[in-house]
Amino acid sequence: MNKLQIFCVTLLLLLLASLSANLILYQELKNTFINLYQTSLNPLGINKYKNQELPNNQVPKVVFFGDSRANGWRFPQNENFQFINRGISGQTSAQTLLRFEEHIAPLKPQIIVIQLGINDLRMLPSNSKTRSDIVNNCQQNIAQIIELSQRINATVILTTVFPLGSGNIPLKYRPFWASLSEMEQSISEVNQYLNSFQNQVILFDAYALLNSEDPGKTKYYRDLLHINRQGYELLNQELNKILTKIHAKSNIKGYIDYETNQ
């Protein structure tokens, strides 16, 4: 193969690589636009659970409420409770708070399991905000969700924000996400704040459980932000212990007399 042929082949390969990269970029931009458009039409995801029929029985309702981590939570095996999911992927604590009256209050649940915060904490601050502002807003939104839950006489099982999995931030998200160290610091700050509610709610330290059982962050993780089925099975072992205590004490209208640290 002479120099001209080598040059032509190299040029062709570069052209193909460029076309492939542009195609991938186009698809990502298209998906981003579609997601933004859908969000603008239905910013709180209200329609996600519209007209969903629920069993009409007297079994106490347990509702999982939050973001994708709540949405992906597989129901534990416990015949003493009826499980309902009201998690929505990608939502921030502000969005979750704003849809409480639509998605939670009408259900009149006896128990609400809260898991959210990571979608706030992964974002870079805007020009008008700092990382401290993001953390503080997340904390206050969760506090308001707890208050709203207790106003409808629901027992709150407050789960700490899950730890991050192993690996790096995907390349396509790096321009928009905070660094791993910033996310980890923010998660720590929010979880410290959540611990201050341990005398008002049932505190379920999911962060500590996942960290202690999987320090390498590989066994129970699907990706950087999400745990897998085995991870939820681990959490459900502890959740079932909590639910069993609640059922045994017939304490389904409030957290009073429930000892969270037992």
Domain 59-248 has CATH 3.40.50.1110: yes
Lowest mean pLDDT segment, chosen from 24-38, 57-71, 241-255 = 24-38
Band (pLDDT 50/70/90 cuts) for residue 194 is very high
Q: Residue by residue, what is the 3-state secondary structure of 70-104?
A: HHCCCCCCCCCCEEEEEECCCCCHHHHHHCHHHHC
- Mean per-residue pLDDT for 127-144? 92
Residue 243 has which token pair? Answer: 């639910």
Lowest mean pLDDT segment, chosen from 23-32, 58-67, 89-98, 173-182 = 23-32
Band (pLDDT 50/70/90 cuts) for residue 35 is low
- Mean per-residue pLDDT for 222-243? 97
Give buried/exposed letters for 138-164 (b at 16+ CB in 10 A, else e): bbebbbebbebbbebebbbbbbbbbbb
CA distance 254 to 256: 6
Q: Does position 134 have pLDDT exceeding 60, yes or no?
A: yes
CA distance 76 to 174: 35
Average pLDDT for the chain: 87
Q: What is the pLDDT of residues 142-153, one digit of tens each?
A: 999 999 999 999
Q: Does position 261 have pLDDT exceeding 60, yes or no?
A: no
Lowest mean pLDDT segment, chosen from 136-145, 165-174, 234-243 = 165-174
Closest C-alpha among 97, 178, 173 to residue 139? 97
* 24: exposed, middle or buried (Cβ count in 10 Å: 0-12, 13-18, 19+): exposed
Band (pLDDT 50/70/90 cuts) for residue 172 is confident
Task: Give yes or no for a contact between 220 and 227, defined as CB atoms under 8 angstroms apart.
Answer: yes
Determine the pLDDT at residue 24: 62
Residue 141 has which token pair? Answer: 């939104």
User: What are the boundaries of each domain within the chain?
Assistant: 1-41, 59-248
- Mean per-residue pLDDT for 49-76? 88
